[in-house]
Structure 1
Amino acid sequence: SLLLFCSTSGLGSESRGETNYSSSSVFLLTQLWLVAAVKWICLRCFLLGSWSEATVRRCVAVSCLMCPAYESGLTLLMNTQPENWSGSLSCPGKTIASTAAALIACLFWEVSFPSAKSATAEGSESAERKQRNRALFMRVVRYSKPDAPLLSGAFVFLSLAVICDMFIPFYTGKVIDILGEQYQPNSFMSAIFLMGLLSLGSSLSSGLRGGLFMCTLSSLNKRVRLMLFNALVKQEIGFFEDKKTGDLTSRLSTDTKLMSQSVAMNVNILLRSLIKSVGVLYLMLSLSWKLTLLTFIEAPLIAITQKIYNTHYEQLSKEVQDSVARANETAGEAVAGVRTVRSFHMELGEACRYDDRLTDTHNLKTRRDTVRAVYLLVRRVMSLGIQVLIMYYGRQLIKSGCMSTGNLVSFILYQGDLGSYIRSLVYMYSNMLNSVGAAAKVFDYLDRKPLVSIDGSLHPETLAGQVHFNNLTFFYPTRPDQPALKNFSLDLKPGQMTALVGMSGGGKSTCVSLLEGFYQPQQGHILLDGQPLQNYQHKYLHQKVAMVGQDPVLFSGSIRDNIAYGLTDCDQKKVEDAAREANAHDFISRLEKRYDTDVGERGCLLSGGQKQRIAIARALIRQPQVLIMDEVTSSLDTESERMVQDALARRPNQTLLVIAHRLKTIERADQIVVIDKGEVVEQGTHQELMEKKGNYYKLRERLFTEEKEADEKVDKQD
């Protein structure tokens, strides 16, 4: 392409009609090529010496071969004869210009095709990356199989649209020739009719093609999002502690969209550009092979410029994407914790923090858009330069009678389209790789296996509820150097109430999380009726083992939906019975919509005590054999607490595990277990532990003193 570029700089000579190469031209060209070969050999052998840089070798080769290639191009295109044995580039000005062109060509080559040395160093890594991207793309294509009928229809309409588009410029040139020559009404009307018919067919086919591809995009995007969401909610709890919410939501929204585009939108544009490029190139060759040869100058320049642009633009786009995720995460944290923000008067601080994130995103977007603006400017200048060359040379062909005016107009229209198609091909290929990169992040989550197995199949008809913690040692994934439990053993018996007490951070909630199957202990195991927890069917286990947390989470929807959460075919009577047991029926009945009342996001429309009673009803409606209550009475009044305890007492065969800081709540427990630093330090009934005057006694005395001081402070304020 560079040699063709050099050859066009001498297009000022007038064309001489039909090609007629004389023997003197052949002899002079042969001399030029021999001189260039001798010059290259001499420089390679004597001047370069031990130089081994590929860039230098290429520059010397191009400099030596520039002159014969230039003269050969002039002879081929313009039928001119070399001026002398040394060629017309031997003058100082043209020598400097040709040398500069050679250096630029070598620079472009080095950017587009790295040297063998660097290719050897990065060859294996690049091949592995390409193979991985190809495998990822084919996997995305396989996910599109359900949309095969839509894709097939879209491809048919794509082909029709391309065929109609390609012939419109051809008939445009025909109309110009008819108007420029002797006017023939029939020929003119036929050409106009065909142009209108082709335009109508192109518009209809393009619209149907775009609609089908967009339907495919929407269908695939929905399917992939659902698959990713299912994969995420099945991960263990430790996975969500290590991942940020903004990152996960970005994968669900942005990356799945990019992944879907790689098949639907990108393949649509890629196929359209490829088919049009081939068809337009054929028509251009049929109009003028010389002008077509000249047009090829633009292709490598576009490809090289596009590659340089893609390298920088994709990197900046990735940084923008990460920055947007960080900004979304900051906003989400502030909104989710708006009560905390308000209580600490941090509205302005959170706004400033969000502004910093938005500023980072804005700066990155500005850099990205600046790169794009410079690229568009360079691309436009190159396109205009090539069009000027084509029009100048086309004028010579028209004067020589080798081409008509209409054919030149058609060729110029085709040439403009060909440039845009080539740019689309290069851009779409890069964009598909970018989409594959987004697909890799999605597939990482889709392929991830939860560290806590949920593939158990055991579901006995009856469950006694005997729980045995056997020599457990557990580290949280986020704190691998600090054990939460050490050699922990404990038995929970049916019909008994076991209370866990101790200072905060002692390991009480960790026991509950392990019993719920949220984590897998690094050592030891938990047995339920003699079987490891992971052997039980996931749904069955969480029907028989229910938990009510200290800060229960309700989902937006009605109170009925929250009480019957996760249950199918649950009638109104069961919901009301569970609400009565939790002392929630009375306040629900006083609401305007009763059980159809919307609780708001995370239950924000209810008080803390109301949320806890609904959460207790949600657990009791399952009639679990093992019930875990973690500080559930902390927001209840004395009457509600008593009613909940009475309801639990009516289930004599139930295994009950209670965590409470208000020791009055657990004095009736069958066994009280004191936990400190992940170990059992005391165990027994309330009376036995009080008589020992050990950790439990000291803990109770301290809490009793704190409660007394708090009550006195309230009395003084009243």
Structure 2
Amino acid sequence: MAALAWLAAALLLLADWLLLRPGLPAIFSLLVPEVSLLRVWAVGLSRWAILGLGVRGVLGVTTGDHGWMAALQPLAAALGLAQPGLASFRELASWGALREDGNVGVLHWGSRLDAFVLSYVAALPAAALWHKLGSLWAPRGHGGALDLVRRLLGSEKRRLYLVLCLLILSCIGEMATPFFTGRITDWILQDKAAPSFTRNMWLMSILTIASAVLEFLGDGIYNFAVGHVHSRAHEEVLQAVLRQETGFFLQNPAGDITSRVTEDTSKVCVSIGENLNLMMWYLVRGLCLLAFMFWGSLYLTMVTLLALPLLFLLPRKLGKVYQSLEVKMQECLAKSTQVAIEALSAMPTVRSFANEEGEAQKFKQKLEEIKTVNKKEALAYMLEIWTTDISGMLLRVGILYIGGQLVVGGAVSSGTLVSFILYQLQFTMVVKTLLHYYPWMQKAVGSSKKIFEYLDRTPSSPLSGSLAPLNMEGLVEFQDVSFAYPNHPDTLVLQGLTFTLHPGKVTALVGPNGSGKSTVAALLQNLYQPTGGQLLLDGQPLVRYDHRYLHTQVAAVGQEPLLFGRSFRENIAYGLTWNPTMEEITAVAMKSGAHDFISGLPCGYDTEVGETGNQLSGGQRQAVALARALIRKPRLLILDDATSALDASNQLRVQKLLYENLGQASPTVLLITQQLSLVEQAHHILFLKEGSICEQGTHLQLMENSGGCYRALVEALAASSH
């Protein structure tokens, strides 16, 4: 297939040489007898149309194709436009120069081999650049800097187009200074400066001021748009992370996620906010300078452009190095952040083991890895600066020498050379600046990879369904449920679990550590989905319920509940869709045993609990968490060792809460605990061992089994309490 494509391309080239080269000028010489721009443009456009049809018809190339064949369409356009464009530039140059003969004529490529070859020399790089820019803007995920910009800007792209128009007008106005400088030089040499000097100085001043005003407006609009982008990017990344399934947070450390959400997102937004603005401005300015350079001297412009590959080659390679180094840098930063977060969040443990120095050394090791990457980045930066400076200096010397020869030979005027040198100096500076900021954009691409992975990641299990019935009974059915955690998919924690939790009843789940009790609680909260079997709530799979609705009906309290660094009032009302009254908050706090110690504080329920509730004892945290669950009036209440840290009086309070005034309107309760006083009164007891139910019944029924697992556990607990 590739061989046929190359053969077809060669046939089109041969047709261009044998048929179009002599045929089209001959045809249009009959229609337009005089050699003029009209004839050259007619020939060029016809050549474009015929070659374009050939590429599309013979090779079957379409706009959406990729690879080298996709560049044939812009190549056909460039071949058709190269000769008319060159002729137009020569006409403009002859019109702008101070010459007596005026029009110097146009190039005619009908029978000239050099002109035919020149059209390909001009068209090939133009087509390659055209195709490259088009592929950058094509939607391809997040493969390049422009893909990154397009995704981050979103709806702000309209403002970016307005900014681009303002920049173009501003840059055209900036060309006034070198343009009029060259013109004044010619007038001085010809003693014609006095009559028009003042008028042109006024015109130059007006254009310069207009350029500054337009640039100011463009910067203002751009900064306004970037402010919106910055806020929206942080919001969308955090929302994307919060949408992920619970297993995602097991496989990715909290420090790594935090680094991506905060540091990486900020770095990308800063690069877009600062570097993109400068790159746009310098790119537009460079194109305007290039157009005026072509107008001034085609020959000197070609010399300048021939030197550009030397300026572009190494920085492009360095851009890839920057990108790979930035990926490594972000990985090292994420690892060091994880070390710091672990140490700071577990500071009491670190201090109790006197391991402050050990944690500092571990953090230092991660910083040493960052230092190594920094050294490599510094070396690449030094090579880039040295290469561009030397190349720019050699280019300036060459332009001065060749330009001087052209002035002596009468090819260009002194004023044109002065203007060109000013254009060329600015153009070289523009290229250097673009090359300087290009690696930083590549670094932003490196930083954005994980961000877009988060944004594009689809949770492996749905977070929310659509069911939200008006009434829920709270009937729970485990039907042959099996489960393995995502980070250990081959290790089954639960195997063939089958049981039922009835409304208004307390079911106690007991068993040795590691038997899977907390996993059952996690499945009931829809934190994970079973890997086998079904988990039903009122006859419907748990995943079919609306996420917010489900968690108003299902509430859980763990052994070590986490509170937020907010007031008691906010912690108890956390996640509610309505604002509870103070009476409602106080009522549930009294039921859980939290009211007594909260009301004794100076600020009462408005007292801050500290980060993760670290200003409270374990029993106080459990009491507040129990109040947080009770205020929802759930139909399913899960207590996972939630009373282990309560004192005797509060344990008795919870016991009365669970077992007094029970009825059909009472919630379904799953009680996971080692406290016999709570288990003995349960309506049903399940004994879980190695992920399976080995015994079930009431306390009296299970105690009758002399060799049973439950009786052995009760006897062991009774012996340990004496």
Q: TM-score interval w.r.t. the shorter chain?
A: 0.7 to 0.9
Shift of 1:204: 3.0
Name the counterpart of 1:576.
Answer: 586
Name the counterpart of 1:692.
Answer: 705
Are 2:516 and 2:688, in contact at CA under 8 Å, matched by a contact in 1?
A: yes
Shift of 1:596: 1.2
Name the counterpart of 2:651.
Answer: 641
1:315 to 316, 321, 324: 324
1:172–1:641 distance in 2 versus 1, CA, 3 Å: farther
Shift of 1:342: 1.3
Shift of 1:286: 2.9
1:420 matched to 2:429? The reply is yes
Shift of 1:135: 9.6
1:418–1:651 distance in 2 versus 1, CA, 3 Å: farther
How many residues end up aligned between the 2 structures?
583
Shift of 1:405: 5.0
The residue correspondences of 1:246-645 to structure 2 (distance < 5 A) are: 246-257=255-266, 268-400=277-409, 402-403=411-412, 405-423=414-432, 435=444, 439-567=448-576, 568-645=578-655
Q: Secondary structure at the match of 2:378?
A: helix
Shift of 1:636: 1.0
- Aligned-partner Cα distance in 1 for 2:295–2:549: 73
Q: TM-score w.r.t. structure 1 length? A: 0.75
Name the counterpart of 1:205.
Answer: 214
The residue correspondences of 1:4-403 to structure 2 (distance < 5 A) are: 131=140, 133=142, 141=150, 144-174=153-183, 184=193, 187-257=196-266, 268-400=277-409, 402-403=411-412
Are 1:496 and 1:654, in contact at CA under 8 Å, matched by a contact in 2?
A: yes
Are 1:451 and 1:520, in contact at CA under 8 Å, matched by a contact in 2?
A: no
Name the counterpart of 2:675.
Answer: 662
Q: Secondary structure at the match of 1:388?
A: helix
Name the counterpart of 2:66.
Answer: none
1:245–1:295 distance in 2 versus 1, CA, 3 Å: same
1:675 matched to 2:684? The reply is no
- Aligned-partner Cα distance in 2 for 1:454–1:409: 68
5+ residue gaps, structure 2, are 1-124, 126-134
Are 2:142 and 2:148, in contact at CA under 8 Å, matched by a contact in 1?
A: no
Are 2:336 and 2:366, in contact at CA under 8 Å, matched by a contact in 1?
A: yes
The code of the aligned residue for 1:357 comes to K
Shift of 1:415: 1.2
Q: Which moved more, 1:697-706 or 1:381-390?
A: 697-706
1:467–1:350 distance in 2 versus 1, CA, 3 Å: same
The code of the aligned residue for 2:717 comes to L
- Aligned-partner Cα distance in 2 for 1:232–1:142: 18
- Aligned-partner Cα distance in 2 for 1:337–1:532: 38
Are 1:213 and 1:265, in contact at CA under 8 Å, matched by a contact in 2?
A: no
Are 2:476 and 2:502, in contact at CA under 8 Å, matched by a contact in 1?
A: yes
- Aligned-partner Cα distance in 2 for 1:335–1:354: 12
Shift of 1:285: 2.7
The code of the aligned residue for 2:676 comes to L
Are 1:500 and 1:672, in contact at CA under 8 Å, matched by a contact in 2?
A: yes
- Aligned-partner Cα distance in 1 for 2:176–2:651: 83
Report Cα offsets for 1:65-111 as digits up to 9, x if no partner.
xxxxxxxxxxxxxxxxxxxxxxxxxxxxxxxxxxxxxxxxxxxxxxx
Shift of 1:263: 6.9
Are 2:264 and 2:330, in contact at CA under 8 Å, matched by a contact in 1?
A: no
Q: Which moved more, 1:396-405 or 1:544-553?
A: 396-405
Shift of 1:350: 0.7
Report Cα offsets for 1:669-701 as digits up to 9, x if no partner.
122222111111222222222232322222223
Report Cα offsets for 1:471-491 as digits up to 9, x if no partner.
111111112222101111121
User: How high is the sequence identity, in percent, across the aligned residues?
Assistant: 37
1:420–1:663 distance in 2 versus 1, CA, 3 Å: farther
The code of the aligned residue for 1:624 comes to P
- Aligned-partner Cα distance in 1 for 2:709–2:698: 13
- Aligned-partner Cα distance in 2 for 1:136–1:423: 18
Q: Secondary structure at the match of 1:295?
A: helix
- Aligned-partner Cα distance in 2 for 1:314–1:408: 40
Q: Secondary structure at the match of 1:473?
A: strand
The code of the aligned residue for 1:621 comes to I
Q: Which moved more, 1:662-671 or 1:320-329?
A: 662-671
Are 2:318 and 2:439, in contact at CA under 8 Å, matched by a contact in 1?
A: no
- Aligned-partner Cα distance in 2 for 1:388–1:600: 68
1:645–1:203 distance in 2 versus 1, CA, 3 Å: farther
- Aligned-partner Cα distance in 2 for 1:620–1:133: 46
1:635–1:430 distance in 2 versus 1, CA, 3 Å: same
Q: TM-score w.r.t. structure 2 length? A: 0.75
- Aligned-partner Cα distance in 1 for 2:211–2:149: 30
- Aligned-partner Cα distance in 2 for 1:179–1:645: 104
- Aligned-partner Cα distance in 1 for 2:206–2:500: 84
1:138–1:377 distance in 2 versus 1, CA, 3 Å: closer
- Aligned-partner Cα distance in 2 for 1:592–1:199: 66
Q: Secondary structure at the match of 1:624?
A: coil
The code of the aligned residue for 1:517 comes to N
The code of the aligned residue for 1:345 comes to A
Shift of 1:504: 1.0
Shift of 1:545: 0.9
User: Pairwise CA RMSD of aligned residues?
Assistant: 2.9
Q: Secondary structure at the match of 2:175?
A: helix
- Aligned-partner Cα distance in 1 for 2:161–2:302: 35
- Aligned-partner Cα distance in 1 for 2:241–2:610: 24
Name the counterpart of 2:721.
Answer: 707
- Aligned-partner Cα distance in 1 for 2:460–2:303: 62
1:483–1:579 distance in 2 versus 1, CA, 3 Å: same
- Aligned-partner Cα distance in 2 for 1:669–1:504: 20
- Aligned-partner Cα distance in 1 for 2:429–2:267: 23
Shift of 1:401: 5.1
Shift of 1:428: 6.3
Shift of 1:663: 2.7
Shift of 1:578: 1.1
Are 1:217 and 1:265, in contact at CA under 8 Å, matched by a contact in 2?
A: no
- Aligned-partner Cα distance in 2 for 1:436–1:346: 38
Shift of 1:404: 5.2
5+ residue gaps, structure 1, are 1-112, 114-125, 709-718
Q: Secondary structure at the match of 2:480?
A: strand
Q: Secondary structure at the match of 2:179?
A: helix
Q: Secondary structure at the match of 2:527?
A: coil
